[in-house]
Amino acid sequence: MEAIGKIIERYPLNTNAPKITVESTTSNMPLNGIIEDSKLMKTKLGYCPNPGCNVCHGTGYLHPLMDGGRTDYSKVMYCDSPGCMRDSFNQYKSGGQYMKSKGVNVNKQTFENFKDRPGTRDAFMAMKSLADGNDKPFCLIYGGVGNGKTHLCQAAVRELLSRGIDTRYYTVADLIALLKIGIQDNTTDKTIRALEKYPGLVLDDWGVEYGTEWEQSKLEQIIDRRYQERLITVVTTNKEIDKLPERVISRFMDPGISQVALNEATDYRRR
């Protein structure tokens, strides 16, 4: 039987399933036990159901209804009762802990507070249109250092998350380090499979220094799989794009699914 958390991940929070159902994942546990479970969940995950909820009976989950009014026991959704699971999760999402888990830093870098300077317009428009949901899920931004590429990456992740699209941000250096650490406990392949499937993935600062055969092959594997699945994928680099692996460049040069933009702005740190 699949864990309930894994089932939930497959159904976005903006699901069109009915808000209230006649069936809940009712527990026969005494109220004190439900309260303790809620406290543990709050500590571990950052959000929890209302243990006294009369709709889900403190479990936090409901089974949606199918056409005809029958209960679909194969699916679950967050309880929408005021003060229960969905409210708690939405409050958690608005906090720094949730954003940090997605790779977003504590500084609120958004499209609204991005400083438009000469040379940034094309990169800004490409990233904003992707985050807003255009029909091209791939985006490559290139240009010198210190011209706002990371700010645009962080803004895109925030926007995608706000639309209910699970998105992860990594610098390529951090990602390579994560994959190497995984060699020790045999989790590298598991991490790669997850990276291949995230609805949104933003890889910042791809440099030519990631040039070992192993590093190249893992990064190319991730990009290639996401290209096949047409999943939202952003790459930035401060190098000339012809310095990146040919297999990667070919994916981002597909005009049917990708935008490529040059950020020509100068380094703002040297102003």
If asked whether residues 214 and 87 sit together in one domain, one would say no
Maximum distance among all Cα pairs of the chain, rounded to whole angstroms:
65
Residue 208 pLDDT level (bands cut at 50, 70, 90): low
Q: What is the CATH number of the domain that holds 212?
A: 3.40.50.300
Amino acid in the structure at residue 203: L
Contacts of 241 (CB under 8 A, 6+ apart): 140, 142, 249, 252, 260
Give the C-alpha separation, 1 to 16, whole Å: 25
Give the C-alpha separation, 67 to 18, whole Å: 10
Residue 244 pLDDT level (bands cut at 50, 70, 90): confident
If asked whether residues 85 and 159 sit together in one domain, one would say no
If asked whether residues 90 and 142 sit together in one domain, one would say no
If asked whether residues 49 and 112 sit together in one domain, one would say no
Could you report the per-residue pLDDT of 69-93, keeping only the tens digit for each?
888 888 888 898 898 988 888 777 7
Q: What is the mean pLDDT of the chain?
A: 82
This prediction's pTM: 0.70
Pick the more confident residue, 10 or 241: 241
Residue 237 dihedral angles phi and psi, to the nearest 5°: -150, 150
Structure tokens at 58: 């403190």
CA dist list (Å): 210 to 17, 89, 220: 45, 38, 11
Residue 261 in contact with residue 126, Cβ under 8 Å?
Answer: yes
